Structure 1
Amino acid sequence: MKKINNLLLLASFAGLLSGCGATNDPEANQITAETKSALVGSYINPVVFEGNPYPQVPAQCHTETSLGRQNACLFCHTNGLYKLGIGNNNPQAGAIPQVNFQLDYGFDPYSTQAPTAAKNYWLNTLSPETLLAAVTAMDINPNNWNMQDYIQENNWQAAYNLRVGTSTDWDSGYDQPFRLLPGLNPSALPADNDGFVRSIDAKDVYFNDDFGGNTGWRAINFMPYGIFSPMTGSVSGIYIRLAAPFMQNSAGDFDLAIYQQNLELLRDAIQNRLTDTSPTNYFGAASAINVVAGSYPQGTELAHPLHYVDTTADGSHGKLPGMRATRVKEVRYMYKDEDFNPMEARPDDGTGDAIYGNDQQGWVDNGSGWLLAGFIEDKNGDLRPQSRAELTQCIGCHSGFHSGTKDPNFTSGTGNTVDSTWSFPRSFDSDLGWQEMDYLGTKVRDGVATSTTPEPTNRHAGIGEFALLLNHTVSANLYGVMPQSIEASLKAAISTDNDYSDNWTAIKTDDAASFEQSVTLRQTLLREYVSRKDYLNEDGTIKGFLLYPVTNDAIENARRYRQVVATQRYIYGKDVFAETPISYHHYRDASVAEVKNDGTPYQFGEIISERSIQLDEPTRFDYRAGNGITLIDSDKAFLQGGTYFPDYVPYLK
């Protein structure tokens, strides 16, 4: 077993940390220094995970594409950042041979002896009736749950109060379940107007500035993908904290202005905004540290509480903004423990097949410079550390290739992250970006949600970011699903009476021809809707019904998710729909029919539970790997209904 020297950074900065409140925690003072220890984990091969040996492959990757009319794949599987040479060495849309996950269902098994990777193991999402059956077997009736009361309970604070040690330490150092729960006290939220989180609790404070006790944490406000929007059932807070030297001037004194400069400079580096005149080193006590485009400095922390949706929460009276309920589904955490620039490794560099981490403490090594930790609800709704089987879902999205200079850990990742991160690259490049995450300025008045922040523009595609989503997915999320509330509003807006070429239509599943006709028409009409900017209000904000659920839908979504909590079936998926999503059904014509692992063709309308694999040539590199095609046509132009987009870049203007 390897050890991670959790005190490495802190030891080197020990002379700079005096006076930051590190000894003001009475509980920590009762524990001698000898009881502290380095983080120690063990290795496990994901092939042994019970129920789902491929948690790094999200449930969205198993969806159909409406015969190529929907392409949600582009938001993860892209070459864009790789071609820019910044922050991502994991191109997934054809920039390297045999890897184009926009065109292929290329599920790759760990070995030829491992279970098939081309099976949909996300049973909660694929067949929600199996989840309900598990709940019923526990003698639980979800209809009896008072969900509005449930989501207003504070389970995060209770967990935080169990974290031993000082919250200025990224790792408390004590061998207990919450040692890597981020040192962000929820009682100190929301952040102040400048985004900094300040506290009156001495153990939370790095230094005192002119506004109060600064914890070092700063809120990030970013444009979400079609994953973490209120419409999908979850809302986020995102916070960043750098190591102590980034908060200090050259004399070693804490300095708010210096810290602000360093955070701004880091944002430029992550968002590819550095110029020839940009500083090459950070400021103050961190002046010896180089600014690296697309890379965070060692010691960076990111905290991500993932909340339930509360449509009654609007950020007023000191409450959290953006429909954030008090209760969290999870608290996620990233710590950059290695000085690693993703661009120093090539896509073909080897990686390991075992995951290093600790189930009792809820953390894993992502194999690409970061430790990932996560705390999720137990069956009673209290937070607990996640297991490695659960945290491997995180590695699936927050990872990349490594040069092999460290222990060979399991890696995965997508093509759209910058140094394994999603949020900071998409934060607003202004003071608006240093605020609590508010989902484009969500405001709820008389039960109606609106936004106050205009739609941001994708600076590489040159169109609105939400417009890009609608144009390529014909849905409100990455599952290709349009909630009924959105369907009703689109039906009222898109009609020949309003000078559209046709009337908005439901998807027809009578036969393959009617299915193709209806999804093609929907794509055409939604693109008309986008080109006319009818998805926007006059002030450039996105119409609320596209982003925010009605109260009943939010409550029922939470009720379905709580079934996962009650059964602890996270390994089978966290996204639960009222019924199997339409995008999991086989509506193809026989000429392009998908087949099962054994080559048996699917019948029209059948649920796709597994996909075809290459069995013809056992000596080929892709033996037993997925070889199904998505039907996204790389030669079909956008104006002809094409959706292929290999070089998507997540950066905003």
Structure 2
Amino acid sequence: MASQGFNRLIILLYLSPIVGFGGTLMGEFISRTTLNNPYANIPAQCYIETSGGAQNACMFCHTNAPARAHLGNNNPQAGLSTVTGNLQTTYSFAPVTQQTIAATINPWENTLFPERLEAAYQKSANRFDESTMLEYLKHDNWSDAYTKRGGKMGWENGQDSSPWRLFPDLSPSDLPAKEDGFVRTKSHERAIFGDITGWRAINFMPYGIFTPMSGSVSGIYIRLPKTFMQDEKGAWSETIYAQNLDLLERAITDRLEANDPQTYYGKAHDVEVHRGLYPLYTEFAHPLHYVDLRAKGTRATRVKEIRYMVKTKMFYPGEAVEKDEDAPIYLNEKQGWINNGAGWILAGFIEDAKGNLRPQKAEELMQCIGCHSDNYGFEPSAFTSGSSNTIDSTWAFPRKFPHKLGWAEMDYLAYSMKEGKATSSRGDPLNRKTQQGEFGYFLKHVVGANLYGVMPASMEAFLMETITKAHGFSDDWRTLDLQHPETLVAQQRLHVKLMGECVDRKAYLTPEGFIQPNLLYPTPTEALNGAIGYRKVVVTQRFTLGKDVFAKTPFTFRYFRNAKEAYTHLDGRPYQIGEIITDRPVEKEAILTEGAGITETLIDEKDALYDGEYLPLLNDPLVYVKALK
């Protein structure tokens, strides 16, 4: 909910440094109202309908559990906070100020109206030959960008003003990481000591955000400051560094034990171990790849983005803070970074129209805060947003596979292509709190392949073949009949029931106990079409209008409500059945909440689909769901 404090409508005319590492990062405070989309922090997934409450993708971002546990999060979003409210049950978007457009207007045009993207693409001078797309995926655009960063830039150098200053010091020529997860190099320039670059790969349980089915896959790498790599006397030590990384893993995944030290090992012995928090100057490098089924882990050589985070200030979940959505954002667009309001500097590099990486602009960086932020705040106050399911603003490391399995390149459940067929070689790990399979729990609640609540044709074909009365299910799986909206909710409720049966009967697993590849990986045609669609966003440079593109508007963006549950457009016009939902009404009467979204999602807190205490942590020791014999 937006505070009713002083509305900052102009760019503030002072600069403020972030100090603490060999120099300063100088940025400026700007009002979000200066952006075309002041709500770029609200992702397109947040605007979907829930099939009358029969699909709940909301719980995978909006719960209370990490904040309730003070586990690197101070931002409960499932009713624990009277300020934020329950973001699973209400589309409670709030405006920055009364002078701006309403946040309930869906700004993600590429996702909502793919035909408009296509029209813009057809007018572009950079149209491409779709038959060459597979070759495009094999082209290395990361190495070219890495050379632009130079040798001594980064957050250590307070004097350099290059826009490539914060490009992560991770060269693709040193990848993949070795079997122990460490990224080693033969380059003396990139090695911190021996052949150690300091980076270590993280293999984690994927979410419904960046998956092969969604068209984007990740690599994740972490690096701690140099003192964490040295013994008490200052000698370099790979053993000490590994011990510190393992200790940090236990702190972030809430597995600290009574006999664990209260400070880190070696020269970092004066750095306190904080449950759920990273030490200062922790770095993350996040290459976001296209999906290429020919590549290991489905990770194409070509990257869509290179993302970077460095922690510059400590905040603690117990601190009293004020959530201020009127506050300005602190950034340096020329250097390509933004402050997330929770102790981290975020930088990003994305493809230009020709496919070469370029620094992201302010509104593009604003999208990062939507997922990587929290309710901490600065003096003076800076904008915060974020999810309630992050641990210290991060997603991947908390979902790391425990121990050695998690210190490896991201492999998307041991993906491989055998005899022309995609296969997985890993099962469904138990969620620590629910003691249910993490992937199965996702399927039960989302009833789709991603947080949009939709699924590709190949996934639905598998479900139609698997879920039948002949196989002992209570009914046959049928494709939703969008031509008869009066029965849509009943159909989706049936899907919920059948998906639950599928998970409970372990039909989503192979006989070996691995997750069915049809539920994880697209077909070659689907993967290629997804890459082509995204490249049209690249060619038109319409990133601020949505990065997720579908062949047609997802049904979860269409209006199918009955009269009892109806709502109108923002201007009061009634919706027609099947109409694309472009906006929702806001509060107009109450003074304190004027302009806030008031439409209910129809997800019922008493329903089995609701989970306000979901905690995205895996069981340790790792346990997989057993397949039925």
TM-score, normalising length: structure 2 = 0.94
Q: Which residue of 1 aligns with 2:161?
A: 175
Distance 1:71 1:378 in 2: 35
Q: Secondary structure at the match of 1:81?
A: helix
Which of 418, 427, 435 is residue 462 of structure 1 equivalent to?
A: 435
1:594 shift after superposition: 2.4
Partner of 1:651: 617
Q: Does 1:87 align with 2:72?
A: yes
Structural mapping, 1:510-525, within 5 Å: 510-525=483-498
Closer, same or farther in 2 for the Cα pair 1:69/1:387, shift >3 Å? same
Shift of 1:338: 1.0
**Which residue of 2 is the match for residue 490 of structure 1?**
463
Q: C-alpha separation between the residues in 1 aligned to 2:44 and 2:228?
A: 39
Map 1:93-492 → 2, pairs under 5 A: 93-97=78-82, 99-139=85-125, 141=127, 144=130, 146-166=132-152, 173-208=159-194, 213-314=195-296, 322-341=297-316, 343-346=317-320, 348-350=322-324, 353-404=327-378, 406-492=379-465
- Show structure 2 runs of 5+ residues with no match: 1-13, 620-629
Q: Distance in 1 between matches of 2:154 and 2:540?
A: 35
Cα distance, 1:142 vs. partner? 5.2
Equivalent pair of 1:237/1:304 in contact (CA under 8 Å):
yes
Please say if residues 59 and 612 of structure 2, whose CA atoms lie closer than 8 Å, have aligned partners that are also in contact. yes
Deviations 1:229-258 (A, max 9, x none): 111001110000000000000000110000
What is the match of residue 6 of structure 2?
Answer: none
2:339, 2:346 within 8 Å by CA — same for their partners in 1?
yes
- Taking the aligned partners of 1:166 and 1:565, their CA distance within structure 2 comes to 30
CA distance in 2, matches of 1:581, 1:590: 22
Tell me if 1:74 matches 2:59: yes
Matches of 2:547 and 2:553, distance apart in 1: 14
The Cα shift of 1:345 comes to 2.6
Residue-by-residue CA offset, 1:181-236 (whole Å, 9 max, x unaligned): 0000111000000000011111111001xxxx100000000001111111100111
Q: Counterpart in 2 of 1:540?
A: 513
Distance 2:220 2:167 in 1: 14
Partners of 2:443 and 2:156 lie apart in 1 by 40
RMSD: 1.6
Change in Cα spacing, 1:352 to 1:407, as seen in structure 2 (3 Å) is: farther
User: Displacement of 1:650 after TM fit?
Assistant: 0.5
Tell me the distance in 1 between the aligned counterparts of 2:583 and 2:548: 18
Q: Secondary structure of the equivalent of 2:289?
A: strand
Contact kept, 8 Å, 2:96 with 2:326, in 1: the verdict is no
Change (3 A) 1:143 1:528: farther
Q: Which moved more, 1:92-101 or 1:424-433?
A: 92-101
Distance change in 2, residues 1:116/1:403 (3 Å)? closer
Q: 1:131 to 1:171 in 2, by over 3 A?
A: farther
Structure 1 position 599, deviation (Å): 2.2
- 1:556–1:632: structure 2 CA closer, same or farther, 3 Å change rule? same
CA distance in 1, matches of 2:217, 2:312: 27
1:585 deviates by: 0.3
Secondary structure class of the residue paired with 1:332: strand
Deviation per CA, 1:387-416, whole angstroms, max 9, x where unpaired?
A: 110011001111111254x33211111100
Q: Is the 8 A contact 2:25 2:158 kept in 1?
A: no
> Which range is displaced more, 521-530 or 71-80?
521-530
Does the 8 Å CA contact 1:167/1:204 hold for their aligned counterparts?
A: no
Instruction: Tell me if structure 2 keeps the 8 A contact 1:89–1:346.
Output: no
Whole-Å separation in 2 of the counterparts to 1:290 and 1:43: 32
Amino acid at match of 1:334: M
- Decide whether aligned partners of structure 1 residues 352 and 289 sit closer, same or farther in structure 2, where only a CA change above 3 A counts: farther
Aligned pair count reads 605
Distance 1:609 1:352, change over 3 A: closer
> Could you tell me which residue of structure 2 aligns to residue 15 of structure 1?
none
Q: What SS class does the counterpart of residue 189 from structure 2 fall into? A: helix
Describe the shift of the 1:381–1:173 C-alpha distance in structure 2 as closer, same or farther (beyond 3 A).
farther
Deviation of the 1:9 alpha carbon: 3.4
Is 1:635 the equivalent of 2:601? no
Kindly indicate whether the alpha-carbon contact (under 8 Å) linking 1:172 and 1:180 is maintained by their aligned counterparts in 2: no
Q: Give the conservation status (yes or no) of the 8 Å contact 1:160–1:185.
A: yes
The aligned residue for residue 42 of structure 2 is 57
2:545 aligned residue: 572
Structure 1 residue 47 displacement after superposition: 1.5
Q: Please give the TM-score of this superposition, normalised by the length of structure 1.
A: 0.90
